[in-house]
């Protein structure tokens, strides 16, 4: 027997609400559905995007704080989200997604413009995101909101390998330092990044990495002073996967020599922590650093297109290297 149902129009999603850890299972579902649908539209119908590791979500939510935003439909389900981050003067958005059921109705514009306006209120001097360069729809959509294409980010991997014994005296691991020394070292790292790009501050990512036991911060020392550091996560990115990569989220080096040494330190740390390789996301404007990585056997694994809000584009330091991953 057929039962008549009263049709009612769907109300527009409401928000933003602050994301909390208990939202992670539903965030994962929206993330997987949205990006699987994106791959299908790009002609890859057999790709199913897996759930992210809940530990990675917890890091992203804690790092974003009030910038972790979601929108709910009239039944309380998550319709969209935008995890918006601020590292001192640098602001970026990711991950962000709209569930396929709510696409093409203006919600995407809402979550992106809300993120941009939030970052402007926080006095961010850089505002951007990354998207897949082959996806013309995404590039056109973000461009319509005032975001301009910049350089490619190239994810490259270096095989894990023990370093020569001479490395040991010049490299430190933040997590191995006495608690009394940690604050001083974190302050040195903040001063180093800000001296190269004014206002850049990765100390929150360093502290959360330590607190949540996701990886470590590796330090290159010169005359008892920090000459470079890298925040790297060893926990699997995908839920249920084994540890395979040491993922570098932030990397700062005073010069190319310190950068080379940092890569050696990271490869050594990966080997000692039972990880097969180091993944570094190289912003395309650092062509010399990219050349150095390729010359030591690095392999290109993935590319993303960096896009920035008009008037809020990033720049590179006059000397040295600052890699800042706009993904989690």
| Cα-Cα end-to-end distance for the chain | 51
Under 8 Å between Cβ of 186 and 207? yes
Find out whether 27 and 82 touch, Cβ atoms under 8 Å: no
Euclidean distance between CA atoms 151 and 153, whole angstroms: 6
Calpha distance 278→15 (Å, rounded):
38
pLDDT given for residue 2 in this prediction: 44
The partner residues of 82 in beta bridges, in order of sequence, read 69, 96
Q: Which residues of the chain have pLDDT under 50?
A: 1-9
pLDDT the model gives residue 167: 62
Query: What is the pTM assigned to this prediction?
Result: 0.93
Residue 47: what pLDDT?
86
Handedness of CA 328, 40, 156, 246 (dihedral sign): positive
What pLDDT does 166 receive? 67
Give the C-alpha separation, 163 to 267, whole Å. 8
CB contact set of 246 (below 8 Å; sequence gap of 6+): 160, 215, 232, 233, 234, 266, 269, 270, 273, 275, 277, 278, 279
CA quadruple 176, 60, 145, 150: dihedral sign: positive
Residue 41 has a pLDDT of 84
Nearest to 131 by CA among 118, 122, 140: 140
What is the model's pLDDT at position 168?
55
Give the containing element (helix H, strand E) for 281. Answer: strand 277-283
**pLDDT for res 6:** 40
């Amino acid at each position: 027997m057929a039962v008549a149902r009263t049709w009612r129009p769907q109300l527009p999603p409401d928000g933003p609400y602050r994301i909390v850890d208990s939202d992670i299972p539903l965030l994962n579902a929206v993330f997987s559905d949205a990006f699987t649908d994106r791959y299908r539209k790009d002609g890859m119908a057999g790709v199913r995007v897996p759930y992210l590791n809940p530990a990675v979500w917890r890091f992203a939510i804690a790092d974003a704080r009030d910038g972790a935003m979601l929108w709910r439909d009239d039944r309380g389900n998550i319709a969209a989200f935008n995890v918006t981050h601020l590292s001192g003067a640098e602001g970026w958005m990711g991950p962000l997604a709209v569930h396929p059921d709510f696409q093409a109705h203006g919600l995407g514009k809402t979550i992106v413009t809300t993120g941009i306006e939030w970052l402007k209120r926080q006095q961010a001097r850089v505002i951007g995101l990354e998207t897949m360069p082959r996806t013309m729809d995404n590039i056109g959509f973000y461009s319509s909101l005032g975001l301009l294409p910049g350089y490619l980010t190239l994810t490259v991997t270096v095989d894990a390998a023990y370093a020569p014994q001479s490395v040991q005296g010049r490299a430190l691991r933040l997590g191995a330092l006495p608690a009394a020394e940690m604050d001083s070292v974190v302050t040195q790292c903040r001063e180093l990044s800000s001296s190269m790009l004014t206002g850049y501050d990765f100390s929150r990512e360093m502290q959360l990495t330590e607190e949540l036991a996701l990886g470590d911060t590796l330090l290159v020392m010169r005359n008892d002073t920090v000459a470079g550091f890298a925040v790297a996560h060893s926990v699997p990115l995908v839920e249920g996967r084994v540890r395979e990569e040491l993922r570098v989220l932030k990397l700062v080096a005073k010069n190319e020599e310190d950068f080379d040494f940092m890569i050696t330190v990271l490869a050594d740390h990966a080997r000692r922590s039972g990880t097969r390789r180091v993944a570094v996301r190289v912003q395309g404007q650092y062509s010399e650093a990219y050349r150095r990585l390729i010359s030591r056997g690095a392999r290109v694994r993935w590319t993303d297109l960096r896009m920035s809000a008009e008037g809020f584009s990033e720049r590179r330091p006059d000397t040295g290297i600052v890699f800042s991953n706009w993904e989690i």
